[in-house]
Structure 1
C-alpha cells in the first residue's frame, strides 16, 4: 500500500481531505515523534512510503528546511531511497510563488526519478540520539540538493540557456541594468546579441577566441552573448593587468581580435595599452563603429531572427563541452594563464549554486565585481541572468561611497564582494544603505573578523563567505543561510569530489584537489599558445591547505606556497597576518619571507599601521600562546598594500 506524507497544514486543507481516505497519511509533524515511529514501522513492513522532507510547499522556489525526522526514518528502516523531483509545478496557478515567478495555466511539468540508493549514517549506532538525528537530516538535505543539481539542465550552451530563461520568465522581464538606468529585457538582450553578433561573426571564425575589453555595463553582457550566439569564445581581458600581462593573455589564448569601446578606453586611460596591442597585430573593434553601422534593416532582421534564435543557434552544432569562455588567472604569482571553461562547466556551477541558495525574480543583484573575474562573471552576471534575476552592473568596486548608495537606491537584495571591497563599503556606507539586502557573498580572499563584525553591528547582516578558483568556474564551497559557520568557507557544492593529500610538516589539513562537472577544460599558456592543457584525470590541484570537518565545513589554512619553514616548523603566512590584524584591526597587513642562515627562513611583515613595533606584536603573541617562530621581528611600514583589480593582494 502506498503511504502519502503531507505536512500537517496541507493535510487539513479542504481540497486535500477528500483524498486522504485513499491513503495511509502521516503528516510531517515535528511535535509528534510517534508519527516517525509509525513511518519506520510501515517501511519495515515493506510498504512504500512517499515523504516530503521539507514538510511544506516551497515558498522560495528552492530547497527549504529539511526535517530530521524523515532522515531518521530512512536510517532506522534501512530501506532504499528513490529520489523524485517534480519540476514545473511551481509555475502553475496553485504555486506559492505568486509574484516571484511567472505563473501560467499549463506549464511543462517534468518528473525525474533517480536510481535507488541506500541511506546509512557513519559512526556507531550508540551515538547520541540528537546528534544522530542531526546527521540524518543533513544527509537527507545533501541527497536532495544533489538530486536538484543532478536533474538540472546542463546539456546545452549558454545561449540556449539564455533562451530557456526567456521562455520561463517572459521576454519582457528586465534582466540587466547599468548606471544609465535603462533596463534591458530578455527580448532586447537576445535581439541585441543577434544584431551585434552578425558583424562580429563576419570578421572572426567559429570557435575563435575574441578578446572583450569592457567594464561592467550592459554592453559587455550584450557583447558576451553576441559572441555566444554565433559560436565565438569570449576571452575576458583584465584591463587593470597592465600591458605585459595583457600581451601574455592574448598570446596564450591566440586572441587576434579585441572588442572594446572608445569611451571606456578614454575614461580608463587605456589608449597607450590598446595602441600597443594593435601594434602586435591585434585587430581592435570599436563598439561605437559597429553600432553606427547597424542600420534599420539589420535591426529588423535581428528582431525577426529573435523569434527563431534557438533554431539558428542549434545549426551551429556547438557541443556543451565546447569552450564557452576564457578567463585569466590574476597574475599574482606569475604571468596569467588562460582558463578555458566550457558551457557545461559554467552551467554546472550556476546549477550547483541554485541547488543550495534560494533566489527568484523578486531579487536584484548588485554586481560591482568586474566580469573579467570569474566571481563577477558567473556569480554576479550569468547566475542571475540565467535564473530570471535582474542584475545591476556597476563599473568599479572601488567607489566605496557610491556602491552602498546604489544598493539603497536600487533596493538590491544580493551583493557580491571581496573582503577588501566590503570593508571599504562598511566604512563609508550609511547604516541604512543595505536595508534591503538578503545575502552578501564574499569570496576571492579571506574575510577578516573585523569585516564580519562591522557588518553584523552596523547593518545587522552576516557575510556568507565562499571559496573558489577560476578553474572551478569559480565556486567550490559557500556558506548559506541554512548551513553557516563563521571562519569557514562553507560546505562543498553538490557534485564536487574532494581529495586531501598529505603535506610534509603540516599536521592540520591537507592539500586540496577537486573533481567535478564545473572543473575547467584546461589551461592555455603563453609558452604554448592555443594548446589546451587539461587537468590530469579531471583533478584540479587548488594549491590550498584545507581541513574538512565532520559536517562538511571547509576551513582554509593557507596556500601551500604561503607556508614558511622556520626552525623545522611549518608556519602559515595567512595565520601570521591574522595575528597582526587581531592586534591592529584598523590596518592592512601582508607577510613575506626571506632567507635566514640559522632558521632557514625569516618572516617580514608589511603593514599600514603607523608606529607598529615588533615588541608589541611579540607581547601579544606571548599573551595569546603563539609560538615565537610565528611572530615577525622585521616590520616595515607602507602607505598602502598593492592589490589587483579584484581586490586580492598582489
Structure 2
C-alpha cells in the first residue's frame, strides 16, 4: 500500500496519463462546450504548482484555494499535496456573508498564501483588501503562467500516512465552521472504502456538479477518479441548478457509471426534467447514484427510481449513504447490486426513540443508509454512553482508519468529539452528533441530535415537520423550510417555510399558513405550532443544508421578511416588541 496519497495518485496519473481525462462541461449560448484535461496534463500542472509553492513556503504551510470550479482547483489541490503544504479549500466569495465566512476560515487556519484562477482573482483581491489582517498575503493565479518548473519537482521528505493532507472546513449547519484535519492515511483509507462501497474501478465514468469545497464533492466528485483511474465529467453547481437536465444529459452522453448528489438534487430533477427529455436519455450504464450529505427522503428515492426508469435507470441504482467530513467522507453505503431499503415506523414510538414497524403509509418512512464498509458503527446512549440494541435510537458513533485526527487548533472539541469511549471502555469513537439505529446491519439515520424538538417528552424530528409542510400545497413543494423548537420545555414547534408566490394562484397567504398549521397539528399532535411564510431567506450552508439554528435565531430576532405568520400568544411573548409587520405578498 502507498505511504501517502501523493505516492498513490502519482502512480495512477502516470499509468493512465493519456487514457483518462477530466472533462469540464461549460454552458454556452448554443448548448454546452467540453474541455478535456488528461491525467498526464493534470500531473504536470500539479507539479508546476508544487514547485512554485515549495519555492515560497515551508512544508506544512496552509494554502487557501479559492476557485469557481473545474480542473484548475484540482491541479492546485494536488499541487499543494505534492509540495507537502496543507490545502484549505474554500468557496469563492459572492456576497458579504460568504466573504465573512472565508475570512474566518483564513484566520482560523493561519493561511500563508492564496491560490485562485485569473477570472476569480478580482473577487479574492477584494476579500483580502477588505480585511486588514490579510494585507501581507500574496494571491496567485495558477492558470496564467506556470508557478514553477514541473521537471524540478521532488516529493518532500517524510511524507507518510500521518502527515496532514488538507483541512476540510465543515459547512456549519449547526455551528461555526471548523477545520477537520484529514491525513494522507485518512484519504487513502476512505477512498478505498468508497471504491469498495460504490463499486468503482478504472472502468468508472463519474459525473459530478458538487462543490469542490464540500466533502462529498471533493472526495467523491474529484479525488475518486484519480484514486481508481477512472474518467470524470465536471460541471459547476450553478450550471446544475440552472439546468438540472444537463447533469442527466452528461451522464447519458458519457455513459456514466457513477454520480454523487444530495437528496434535493434528485428532487430538483423530478420537478424540472420533463418526460420528453427523459425519453431522450440512455442511463443504462449508471450503476450508482449516491444519495447523501443531507437527510434522504423515501419518496424521493422511490419517485426518482420509478420515473427515470424510462431512461434505463436500474432499480438498484440509487444508493443512500451516510458520512461526514469528520470521517473524511463515507461511513456506510448501500452495497452494489442491492436496492435502497425503506422501513415504515410508528411516529409516536419514534418520538420515544423506539422503533415499531408499521404497514406502508401508516407511519414515518425511513430510508436505510446502507451498511458499514470498513468502519465500526455503534449506536450509543449519549448520556450514559451505553451501547444500545438494534431498533433503539441513539447517537451514531464511528471508528476506523478514515476518522480524521481532529479539529484544527481546537483541542477541547477534538477530545470531546473524536475521543469518545463507551461505558464498557470501547473506543476511541467519533461522536457524529447524528441520531439513528441499526436493524439487521442496516443503519437508519433519524436526525441531528441538536435539532430534535422535544414536546411533552416526545422527540419530533424537524425534517418530518418540514416534509409535512411541503406536502400541503404546490406553492411549497421543492421549497426550503426550517423547523425548530423555541421556548423552555415543552418547546413550541415553529416552521419558517419558503413559498413560491406565483404558485399561490390567488390563495391568501393567511389561508395557506392555516393549512400548514393544521397539517402539523394533525400529524404530530402538538398545540399552537408557529408557521412563518417567507418568499426566500431560509438560511443554508454553502452545500445547501438547512441551518435550523440560524433560522431559529432569525425568527426570534424577527429578521425574516414575512409574507404571513400564524403565531399563538405563547410564541409572540418570546419575540421582540414591536414585532415585524407582515410584508405584502407579491
| 1:444 correspondence with 2:293 | yes
Q: Give the C-alpha shift of residue 329 in structure 1.
A: 0.9
**Contact kept? 2:333, 2:373, Cα under 8 Å:** no
Number of aligned residue pairs: give it: 474
SS in 2 for 1:183: strand
SS in 1 for 2:35: coil
Aligned to 2:546: 649
Deviations 1:437-470 (A, max 9, x none): 3321111111234432431233114521111110
Aligned to 1:172: 18
Q: Give the C-alpha shift of residue 561 in structure 1.
A: 0.6
Deviations 1:88-124 (A, max 9, x none): xxxxxxxxxxxxxxxxxxxxxxxxxxxxxxxxxxxxx
Larger Rg: 1
Aligned to 1:639: 535
Aligned to 1:364: 205
SS in 2 for 1:318: coil
Can you give the 5+ residue segments of structure 2 that lack an aligned partner in the other structure? 27-33, 343-365, 420-426, 548-586
**Contact kept? 1:256, 1:282, Cα under 8 Å:** no
SS in 1 for 2:436: strand
- TM-score of the two chains, using structure 2 as the length reference: 0.74
| 1:514 correspondence with 2:514 | no
**Contact kept? 1:245, 1:331, Cα under 8 Å:** no
Change (3 A) 1:432 1:285: farther
Q: Give the C-alpha shift of residue 342 in structure 1.
A: 0.5
**Contact kept? 2:469, 2:520, Cα under 8 Å:** no
**Contact kept? 1:324, 1:342, Cα under 8 Å:** yes
Return the match for 2:116 from 260, 268, 272. Answer: 260
Instruction: Write the mapping of 1:362-511 to structure 2, written as runs, cut at 5 A.
Output: 362-396=203-237, 397-401=240-244, 402-429=246-273, 430-432=277-279, 435-436=282-283, 437-460=286-309, 461=313, 462-483=317-338, 484-486=340-342, 487-503=366-382, 508-511=392-395
**Contact kept? 1:364, 1:413, Cα under 8 Å:** yes
Q: Give the C-alpha shift of residue 348 in structure 1.
A: 0.6
**Contact kept? 2:418, 2:429, Cα under 8 Å:** yes
**Contact kept? 1:352, 1:493, Cα under 8 Å:** no
| 1:568 correspondence with 2:568 | no
Change (3 A) 1:203 1:603: same
Change (3 A) 1:362 1:392: same
| 1:535 correspondence with 2:399 | no
Aligned to 1:602: 492
Q: Distance in 2 between matches of 1:185 and 1:278?
A: 40
**Contact kept? 1:253, 1:529, Cα under 8 Å:** no
Q: Distance in 2 between matches of 1:618 and 1:638?
A: 15
Q: Distance in 1 between matches of 2:13 and 2:99?
A: 39
Aligned to 2:483: 591
Q: CA RMSD in A?
A: 3.1
Q: Give the C-alpha shift of residue 499 in structure 1.
A: 2.4
Q: Distance in 1 between matches of 2:170 and 2:288?
A: 27
Q: Give the C-alpha shift of residue 352 in structure 1.
A: 0.9
Q: Give the C-alpha shift of residue 508 in structure 1.
A: 4.1
Change (3 A) 1:592 1:638: same
Instruction: Write the mapping of 1:544-583 to structure 2, written as runs, cut at 5 A.
Output: 544-550=434-440, 552-583=441-472
Aligned to 2:357: none
**Contact kept? 2:76, 2:142, Cα under 8 Å:** no
Change (3 A) 1:632 1:183: farther
Which stretch of structure 1 is more off in the superposition, 453-462 or 318-327?
453-462
Q: Give the C-alpha shift of residue 522 in structure 1.
A: 0.9
**Contact kept? 1:210, 1:259, Cα under 8 Å:** yes
Q: Give the C-alpha shift of residue 331 in structure 1.
A: 2.1
Q: Distance in 2 between matches of 1:565 and 1:255?
A: 41
**Contact kept? 1:211, 1:235, Cα under 8 Å:** yes
Q: Distance in 2 between matches of 1:531 and 1:356?
A: 28
Aligned to 1:628: 525
Q: Distance in 2 between matches of 1:530 and 1:634?
A: 34
Can you give the 5+ residue segments of structure 1 that lack an aligned partner in the other structure? 1-152, 306-311
Q: Distance in 2 between matches of 1:538 and 1:425?
A: 41
Q: Give the C-alpha shift of residue 343 in structure 1.
A: 0.7
**Contact kept? 2:164, 2:182, Cα under 8 Å:** yes
| 1:238 correspondence with 2:109 | no
Q: Distance in 2 between matches of 1:530 and 1:601?
A: 28
**Contact kept? 1:211, 1:258, Cα under 8 Å:** yes
Return the match for 1:215 from 68, 76, 79. Answer: 68
**Contact kept? 1:254, 1:529, Cα under 8 Å:** no
Q: Give the C-alpha shift of residue 583 in structure 1.
A: 4.0
Aligned to 2:103: 247
Q: Distance in 2 between matches of 1:614 and 1:427?
A: 23
Q: Distance in 1 between matches of 2:414 and 2:271?
A: 45
Change (3 A) 1:398 1:208: same
Change (3 A) 1:229 1:381: same
Deviations 1:486-531 (A, max 9, x none): 4434333332112222257999400111111000011015x78999
Aligned to 1:48: none
Which stretch of structure 1 is more off in the superposition, 426-435 or 197-206?
426-435
Q: Give the C-alpha shift of residue 270 in structure 1.
A: 5.1
SS in 1 for 2:213: coil
Return the match for 1:284 from 138, 142, 158. Answer: 138
**Contact kept? 1:235, 1:325, Cα under 8 Å:** yes
Which stretch of structure 1 is more off in the superposition, 257-266 or 510-519?
257-266
Deviations 1:468-495 (A, max 9, x none): 1100111111123434314434333332
SS in 1 for 2:25: coil
Deviations 1:369-406 (A, max 9, x none): 11111101111111121101111221224233443343
SS in 2 for 1:522: coil
Q: Give the C-alpha shift of residue 533 in structure 1.
A: 9.1
Change (3 A) 1:435 1:346: same
Q: Give the C-alpha shift of residue 564 in structure 1.
A: 1.8
Aligned to 2:552: none
Q: Distance in 2 between matches of 1:373 and 1:348?
A: 18
Q: Distance in 2 between matches of 1:410 and 1:422?
A: 19
Deviations 1:49-71 (A, max 9, x none): xxxxxxxxxxxxxxxxxxxxxxx
Q: Give the C-alpha shift of residue 428 in structure 1.
A: 2.6
Q: Give the C-alpha shift of residue 580 in structure 1.
A: 2.6
**Contact kept? 1:365, 1:390, Cα under 8 Å:** yes
